[in-house]
Amino acid sequence: MMLVVATALAARPPVQPGLDLKTFVVGVFPYDHVLFEDPDCACVEPAAQGLTDLRLKLDERRGRFAIEAHHTATFATADVDLAGQTGVARRAPQLVDGTWNAVDARQMSLAGRVDRLNLQVTVPHVDLTLGRQAISFGRAFFFSPLDLVTPFDPSIVDQEYRPGVDAARTDVWLGTAGQVAAVVAWMGDPGDDLVREHLTATGYAQGTLGLWDLGAFGGLVRADPVLGAVAAGSAGPLGLRSEATVTLVDDPFVRASAGADWMPMPDLYLSAELYLQTLGADGPDDYLTQALDPRYVVGELWLLGQRYAGVSASWKVHPLWTVGTGAIANLGDPSVLLMPSIEGSVSDEVSLTASGFVGLGERPPDWSTSAPAFASEFGSWPSAFFLALKVYA
Amino acid sequence: MILLSALALAAEADLGVLLDKVDDVARGGSSHALITMAVKTDRYERTVQLEVWSEGSDKSLVVIREPAKEAGVATLMVGDQLWNYMPRVDRTVKLPAAMMSDGWMGSHVTNDDLVKSSRMADDYDAELRHQPDATHSTWMLSLTPKPEAPVVWGRLEVELTADELPLAIAYYDEDGRLERTMSWEDPRDFDGRRVPAVLLVKPADSTEYTRITYDSLAFDMVHDPSTFTLQALRR
């Protein structure tokens, strides 16, 4: 007998409040260079920092309404701030100040943030979401030109949560995979004037053709017109994806990436990506100037050159342990950032990760005898290693 | 002669019905299930709780509810299309269907075992070994792949109870070696239908297993039209 049941989605059990507790130990080992010999700088010698990050989560759906509320609190030791190396406690621009600092001493700090606080209303074919939320349109793994609202830097350890931004979002859903989305997001600081330079207003439309998802993107990103496109699909055993944007300023520039994923055997996952950004510096001599460009200062861009490749291999050597290696190469220098890692599942709710970043390439010249400059992008990176214990409840 | 052929066709059709009953044991035209999947290997044990919606043989939505580390990760399959959604980074990933054909989440079951998008009656020729009678208490069918069928097994032995509930499937490779067994236990009433509540998958010559327990199961409901869309995947 055919039973008519109220929507299955409404029948879902509500998600219980949860928390993530993550502890990181970060060690940075500068190489021997005048760059790190400033006697007033804590970067002279190897440095370490302990970080504990607590995230309280409430994700609740009741019928047509859903609320997502995440609050984070981060405790950090030491008088060097290496949190940026990990991505721990990353903050996005915020319209309403949701941060607090309980302790801000030289040897320790305790600070927090409302990272997610949004209300979603669902009506047939439409989701309306208002408040602090994660926003992503990109499909790429390493280099994602479409992630202009909260760009994700792959050279960080803690990529588990994309920081929430204050935004209003509307998604209209058509058929299985058709989507039209409009987002207005705040990109300034609390108290900034409500001007176009502090706003991002974007539209995104997606449909499916055969086995491919095809999308188009357009909008104003901090007052700059941006157009983009994305394609994701498969060919045989390969997952394929590509995305590109063109920023239509006085001197227009293009960012484009293309990549593939492959599982040649059940325990091995391979991924590769190529990336082009025409705005990048022509060579190492221009890197310092490039890094001072406002797009880098606000985090819209983080790679200094023009042509890159990224590869990663993830091998499940044991059902509970995964060994991985990632690498991002600047094809112009050339230089490479190696990112080895090993991650283990201690239990269903606890994992342990050890990873590192090792920059390979020509080190910077002696700045005491020449003008400050870099010889290669990743050759200028000090080595950094991390240990992370993560508990989920 | 004509009569014999007609009888043979009728028997073939009946065997197809039996195979459909195995394929549809936990699915029906549409279904909604809460599942606990316990995996035991020589080196580890884990338990995962899943919520599964399905419609027909080509639409399914699977959401991980436990453990907390992976809660909310969802997989949508519509025909040959497969998407994965990771809510923490608000990212939808399109996957080749081939990526879901191996052991799912470290278990001994494939995505197809879970959502049953393939049909044994379509992929295999069935031969009746025995039926319930004075000497046998069960149905036993032997299946060999059809020439162009996209299957990896060389032969299946399918056993059903006298009242046509699935009991076990033995999977043999092309050399005739037993590779794994799938068995059903603990028949219960779900939504007015008698269904085995436990599915046990065991590799041959091993103490490892994956036990899937249906904590709740409902059939033949009318799903919300958005259930098998990217909109539902993101929720």
Residues B191 and B206: their CA atoms lie apart, in Å, by: 35
Q: Answer whether residue A189 is part of any domain.
A: yes
Select from B78, B88, B224 the Cβ nearest to the Cβ of A176: B78
- Alpha carbons A120 and A9: distance in angstroms, whole number: 15
Q: Do B97 and A239 touch (CB under 8 A)?
A: no
**Does residue A6 lie within any of the structural domains?**
no
Higher pLDDT, A200 or B150: A200
| Residues from chain A contacting residue B43 (CB–CB below 8 Å) | 318-320
Q: Do B90 and A162 touch (CB under 8 A)?
A: yes
Range of the domain at B51: 2-234
Stated as kind and residue range, the H or E segment containing B19 is helix B2-23
Q: What token pair was written down for A359? A: 């920059």
CB-based contact, B17 to chain A, within 8 Å: no
Q: How far is A375 from chain B (nearest CA, A)?
A: 34
**B44 part of contact set with chain A, CB < 8 Å:** yes
Is B92 at the interface with chain A, CB within 8 A?
yes
> Residue A303 is part of which domain span?
17-39+46-392
What region, left, alpha or beta, does residue B194 occupy, with left being phi > 0 and alpha being psi -120 to 50 degrees? beta
Chain A touched by B99 (CB under 8 Å): yes
Which of the residue ranges A112-126, A290-304, B42-56, B63-77 has the most confident prediction, judged by mean pLDDT?
A112-126
The pTM (predicted TM-score) of the whole model is 0.82
Q: What is the pLDDT of residues A10-43, one digit of tens each?
A: 444 555 678 899 998 988 888 777 666 666 655 5
C-beta separation of B103 from A266 below 8 A: yes
Partner A contacted by B43 (CB < 8 A): yes
Cis peptide before A334 (omega within 30 of 0): yes
Interface test with B, best of A1, A3, A208 (most B CBs within 10 A): A3
Q: How far is A134 from chain B (nearest CA, A)?
A: 6
How many A×B Cβ pairs under 8 Å?
Answer: 141
Please provide residue B104's backbone torsions phi and psi, each rounded to the nearest 5 degrees: -95, 120
A161: domain CATH number is 2.40.160.100
Q: Which CATH number fits the domain that encloses residue B174?
A: 2.50.20.10
Taking contacts as CB-CB distances below 8 angstroms, the residues of chain A near B99 are 237, 239, 263
In a domain? residue A302: yes
Task: Report yes or no on A11 lying in a domain.
Answer: no
- Contact with chain A for residue B163, Cβ under 8 A: no
In a domain, A264, yes or no: yes
Count the domains in chain B.
Answer: 1
Query: By the CB < 8 Å criterion, does B42 face chain A?
Result: no
Digits of tens for pLDDT over chain B (235 positions)? 444 444 444 455 488 888 888 887 766 678 899 999 998 887 778 889 999 998 887 888 999 998 888 888 898 988 878 888 888 777 888 887 766 655 666 677 776 666 556 788 888 998 999 989 889 899 999 999 998 887 788 999 999 998 888 999 999 998 999 999 999 999 998 888 888 999 999 999 888 999 999 999 888 888 888 889 988 888 7
CA distance B169 to B152: 15
Distance from CA of B3 to the nearest CA of A (A): 36
Chain B residues with CB-CB distance to A319 below 8 A? 41, 43-44, 106
- Cβ contact (<8 Å) for B88 and A241? no
- The span from the CA of B216 to the CA of B167, in Å, is 20
Instruction: Tell me the nearest-neighbour CA distance from A213 into chain B, angstroms.
Output: 8
Q: Do A133 and A115 form a contact (C-beta atoms < 8 A)?
A: no
CB contact under 8 A, A173 and B229: yes
Q: Given this model, what pLDDT does residue A251 score?
A: 92
Counting the structural domains of chain A, the total is 1
